[in-house]
């Protein structure tokens, strides 16, 4: 079912970003009408062209900073959405350590503004982009939503933990909003059409774009940050979730909120595959899936890295009737197709 002019509108802040743009596709395929709000500080306008190619139509986009109160108010006034998916945030872990105030100001003010405007315009449904980073290095694995959050490893991670608490406390104080915070694990991959994908600006911090840029000859080689961890091959373990599966999880979360049958008005849900993969196995799987060799060398550990983290996703299956469907190989093949398109 695709959206029509009478489809319910959903504001998607950061909707031109990696996860946001893929969620826009899933929203339209599910019969919603997404309205993108993006200041393009960490995304490119070419994403809108990619979306038009995939969807065969334009998506409304406001080139606006979601901290701009006047602009946001007029968008709520004009579009009359039934929900908001809030992706917009600065998300570079290293940068957040160097510029913490920029992160606290941007990431928290935008959320606080939404929590004021949503009741004012009677918009009850909020899906919040959170992160597994709130778990730090958990004591036991896989992590469930009851696993205690540990002190954030970075100001970026702290803005996600504080964001969750802001929403929780607002709901407890009867602010008329129902919210689900989705704790993403490691998003990877690209839309199978290779029309949209991950667009890291500058040198990629994350593993998979570094692998694909190395495979494309853009980077001379990949450094594997440490092989002396307590894991099967000594390299760190993560839960790599396909961006299309992640996008679908947002649609399921929105539907759950709209159904109104939520036990409480706020909840957190892990969105991962439930499988842990080592760095070396990601490299090996990429080479097997694409037939392209990756030049890498083992280097020192990266400060701040947790040794292993992966999700228990039983709550997502139970509450959202959702589970990840795409394999690591499929995600890496799609990421490689996208890299070849933009190289
Ligand atoms: C994955 C693994 C690295 C690059 C980050 C954010 C987190 C979340 C997901 C938003 C680690 C290793 C990486 C490289 C390597 N983002 N690696 N060489 O750090 O798990 O999580 O993205 O919510 O908040 O911190 O992802 O892709 O950077 O690293 O060996 O060149 O790959 O050491 O073990 P990370 P990552």
For residue range 16-67, what is the model confidence (pLDDT) as tens digits?
A: 999 999 999 999 999 999 999 999 999 999 999 999 999 999 999 999 999 9
pLDDT above 80 (res 159): yes
State whether residue 308 is helix, strand or coil.
strand
* pLDDT value, residue 254: 97
Position 329 confidence tier, pLDDT thresholds 50, 70, 90: very high
Q: What is the pLDDT of residues 303-328, one digit of tens each?
A: 889 999 999 999 999 999 999 999 99
Cα separation, 256 vs 235, in Å, equals 37
* pLDDT value, residue 235: 98
Ligand 1 contact, 116 CB (< 6 A): no
Ligand 1 contact, 191 CB (< 6 A): no
Report the sign of the C-alpha dihedral through residues 34, 40, 44, 49, in that order: positive
Cα separation, 169 vs 7, in Å, equals 31
* pLDDT value, residue 112: 98
Q: Which residue shows structure tokens 């607002």?
A: 170
Smallest CA-to-CA distance from 241 within 282, 203, 280 is with 282
* pLDDT value, residue 2: 65
DSSP label at residue 143: B
Cα separation, 343 vs 339, in Å, equals 6
* pLDDT value, residue 260: 73
* pLDDT value, residue 285: 98
Q: What is the pLDDT of residues 224-282, one digit of tens each?
A: 999 999 999 999 999 999 999 999 999 999 999 998 767 679 999 999 999 999 999 99
Position 5 confidence tier, pLDDT thresholds 50, 70, 90: low
Q: What is the pLDDT of residues 281-304, one digit of tens each?
A: 999 999 999 999 999 999 999 988
Output the CA 306–ligand 1 centroid distance in Å.
Answer: 9
Q: Which range, 99-108, 134-143, 195-204, has the best average confidence (pLDDT)?
A: 99-108
- 1: Cβ–Cβ under 8 A, 6 or more apart, which residues? 29, 30, 31
User: Mean pLDDT for the chain?
Assistant: 96
Smallest CA-to-CA distance from 240 within 217, 266, 208, 262 is with 208
Full 3-state SS string of 57-100: CCCCEECCCCCCHHHHHHHHHHHCCCEEEECCCCCCHHHHHHCH
The question of whether 266 is a catalytic residue gets the answer: no
pLDDT above 60 (res 1): no
State mean pLDDT over 102-123: 98
Residue nearest atom 32 in ligand 1 by C-alpha distance: 207
Position 153 confidence tier, pLDDT thresholds 50, 70, 90: confident
* pLDDT value, residue 279: 98
Which listed residue (62, 103, 135, 156) is catalytic? 156
* Class of the CATH domain delimited by 9-187+241-272+312-325: alpha beta
For the CA of 304, the nearest atom of ligand 1: 19
With the most atoms of ligand 1 within 8 angstroms of its CB, the residue from 225, 242, 301, 306 to mutate is 225
With the most atoms of ligand 1 within 8 angstroms of its CB, the residue from 128, 130, 279 to mutate is 279
pLDDT above 90 (res 202): no
Output the CA 207–ligand 1 centroid distance in Å.
Answer: 6
State mean pLDDT over 164-180: 97
CA-based R_g, the chain, Å: 19
- Whole-number Cα distances in Å, 58 to 2, 61, 84, 136, 294: 13, 9, 19, 40, 37
- Whole-number Cα distances in Å, 257 to 155, 170, 301: 29, 16, 41
Position 88 confidence tier, pLDDT thresholds 50, 70, 90: very high
Q: What is the pLDDT of residues 61-82, one digit of tens each?
A: 999 999 999 999 999 999 999 9
Reading across the β-sheet that carries 178-184, which strands appear in turn? 61-62, 33-37, 9-13, 83-86, 125-131, 178-184, 266-271
- 158: Cβ–Cβ under 8 A, 6 or more apart, which residues? 104, 152
Residue nearest atom 26 in ligand 1 by C-alpha distance: 206
């Amino acid at each position: 079912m695709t959206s029509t002019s009478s489809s319910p509108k959903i504001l998607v802040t950061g909707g031109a970003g990696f996860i946001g743009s893929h969620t826009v596709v899933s929203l339209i395929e599910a019969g919603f009408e997404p309205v993108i709000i993006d200041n393009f500080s960490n995304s490119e306008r070419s994403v809108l062209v990619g979306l038009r190619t995939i969807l065969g139509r334009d998506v409304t986009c406001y080139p606006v900073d979601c901290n701009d109160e006047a602009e946001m108010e007029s968008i709520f006034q004009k579009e009359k959405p039934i929900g908001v998916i809030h992706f917009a945030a600065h998300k570079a872990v290293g940068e957040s350590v160097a510029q913490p105030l920029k992160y606290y100001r941007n990431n928290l003010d935008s959320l606080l503004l939404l929590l004021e405007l949503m009741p004012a315009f009677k918009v009850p449904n909020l899906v919040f982009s959170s992160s597994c980073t709130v778990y730090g290095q958990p004591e036991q694995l896989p992590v469930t939503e009851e696993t205690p959050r540990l002190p954030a490893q970075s100001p970026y991670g702290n803005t996600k933990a504080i964001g969750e608490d802001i929403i929780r406390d607002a709901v407890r104080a009867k602010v008329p909003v129902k919210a689900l915070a989705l704790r993403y694990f490691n998003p990877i991959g690209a839309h199978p059409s290779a029309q949209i994908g991950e667009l890291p600006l500058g040198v990629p911090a994350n593993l998979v774009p570094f692998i694909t840029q190395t495979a494309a000859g853009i980077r001379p080689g990949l450094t594997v940050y440490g092989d002396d961890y307590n894991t099967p091959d000594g390299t760190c373990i993560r839960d790599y979730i396909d961006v299309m599966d992640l996008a679908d999880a947002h649609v399921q979360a929105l539907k759950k909120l709209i159904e109104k049958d939520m036990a409480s008005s706020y909840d957190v849900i892990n969105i991962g595959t439930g499988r842990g993969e080592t760095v070396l196995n990601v490299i090996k799987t990429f080479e097997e899936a694409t037939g392209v060799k990756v030049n890498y060398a083992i280097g020192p550990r990266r400060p701040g890295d947790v040794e292993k983290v992966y999700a228990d996703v039983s709550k997502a299956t139970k509450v959202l009737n959702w589970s990840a469907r795409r394999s690591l190989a499929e995600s890496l093949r799609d990421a490689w197709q996208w890299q070849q398109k933009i190289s």
